[in-house]
Amino acid sequence: MFGGRILAMSNRDDFTQKTKDELAKRVAWLCSNPNCRRATIGAKTGSEGAIITGIAAHITAAAPGGPRYDSALRPDQRKNTTNGIWLCSNC
């Protein structure tokens, strides 16, 4: 418990923001699905900044019970760019 709140412990090996950025930049912010290739970043309407519609997805699941979970991978391998793909929010 912290400050009156119960903190949930996660057993997910999530990507860091640095890894997410690297996955997006490697594909020029385009969806990696070859049948899609949509842009996943664009200007915000009426304000400064950008809107990001892409998602860094795990190839093998980030947590037990997820799709394609591989218990042989170490947490650092699950969080690595080699286990990631950049997709648009639709894919």
For residues 68 and 12, give the distance between their C-alpha atoms in angstroms, rounded to a whole number: 14
Residue 11: inside a domain = no
Other beta carbons less than 10 A from residue 65's beta carbon = 7
The answer to whether residues 42 and 50 touch, using CB atoms and an 8 Å cutoff, is yes
pLDDT in tens, 58-81: 999 999 999 999 999 999 999 999
Domain that holds residue 69: 17-88
| Residue 10 maps to a domain | no
Q: Is residue 80 part of a domain?
A: yes
Looking at the 3D structure of the chain, how many domains does it have? 1
Indicate whether 10 pLDDT > 80.
no
pLDDT above 50 (res 34): yes
Average confidence score pLDDT of the chain? 90
What pLDDT, on a 0 to 100 scale, did the predictor assign at position 47?
A: 77
